[in-house]
Amino acid sequence: MDRLDANAIGFPGVEVRVAQRCGSTNDLLLEDRSSGPVLLAAEEQTAGRGRRGRRWHGTPGAGLTFSLALQVKRPARELAGLSLAAGVALSKALRALGVARAALKWPNDLMVDGAKLGGILVETRGAGAATRAVIGIGINCRRDPGLALRLGRTLAALDQFLSPLPSRNDLLKAIIPVLLETLATFEAQGLETLRGEWEALDAHAGQRLRVRLAGGRVLTGVAAGLAEDGGLRLNTKHGMRAVRSGRVVSARPA
């Protein structure tokens, strides 16, 4: 198993840390007082999580789990777009490495051919005039059939598409510049400049979706890209709707 190495990952202007074992990289960076960008990668997380408190499952050494903390000055109402911007960056970086069909599932999953490759969890805290944003990312690197069986869903891993599989240090060195550049674009211009890129990477573009809303109700419609604020646009029988909090539970051709 390749080992994470902060010196090998090092990127100008970013403090890079490696934890052998921790609860959650997001939690640690939310409490951190550093003002500049900090990247924390972990060999093992014991309390990793996804959206709405769901647990992030992973086998030590089989995946890449890390968080990036940085200051963001966009208005609070725009911060929902951070996970979408991060998704664009990750898909572009993985495609450049050779994962040609890397795509995005709204609002925060990395997909390949309908299988989940990774996920994104963005959490924020007020920091004076700015916001401290922590972008947590998990990517499956090596196949783990036992994990897929336990979760009851189809998973993808990078070793299915990249041969030889780069070390996790090299993966981070390829991902971080693209992530920082994309987040800088978001900071300067908001989501609008990235919306077209996200829609071009949308795994469900033009498909008929069932979306479970935050309150439990299910909305059905054809995926029609993103609203200006990052909501998922659905063309329903009652007209166009924008979903801002929900989960895609099924997709099929329209």
Tens-digit pLDDT profile for residues 114-131? 999 999 999 999 877 789
Residue 60 sits at φ, ψ, to 5 deg, of -50, 130
Q: Provide the pLDDT for residue 49.
A: 65
Q: Provide the pLDDT for residue 215.
A: 86
> Do the beta carbons of residue 101 and residue 112 sit within 8 Å?
yes
Q: What is the CATH number of the domain that holds 211?
A: 2.30.30.100
Q: How confident is the model at residue 58 (pLDDT cuts 50, 70, 90)?
A: low
Q: For residue 15, is it within any domain?
A: yes
Q: What residue type is assigned to position 151 of the chain?
A: L
DSSP 16: E
Nearest residue to 78 via CA among 181, 192, 184: 192
Span 234-245, average pLDDT: 96
Average pLDDT over the chain reads: 92
Span 66-79, average pLDDT: 94
Helix axes 192-200, 81-97, angle to 10 degrees: 50
Is residue 142 annotated as part of the catalytic site, yes or no?
no
Question: What is the token pair recorded at 62?
Answer: 């089989």
Residue tagged active-site, from 51, 142, 143, 210:
51
Q: For residue 1, is it within any domain?
A: no
Q: Which domain holds residue 246?
A: 207-253
Q: For residue 20, is it within any domain?
A: yes
Span 46-74, average pLDDT: 77
DSSP 4: -
Decide which of 52 and 228 is more confident. Answer: 228
Q: What is the CATH number of the domain that holds 127?
A: 3.30.930.10
Is residue 74 annotated as part of the catalytic site, yes or no?
no
Q: CA 93, CA 128: separation in Å to the nearest integer? A: 32
Residue tagged active-site, from 17, 92, 105, 116:
116
Same domain, 128 and 220: no
pLDDT at 55 over 70: no
What is the helix (H) or strand (E) element at residue 151, kind and residue range? helix 145-151
Q: Strands, E, within 189-231: which ranges?
A: 207-213, 218-226
Same domain, 15 and 122: yes
Same domain, 189 and 163: yes
User: Domains in the chain: how many in total?
Assistant: 2
Same domain, 127 and 212: no
> Do the beta carbons of residue 144 and residue 155 sit within 8 Å?
yes
Q: Provide the pLDDT for residue 225.
A: 97
Span 224-233, average pLDDT: 96
Same domain, 181 and 217: no
Is residue 51 annotated as part of the catalytic site, yes or no?
yes
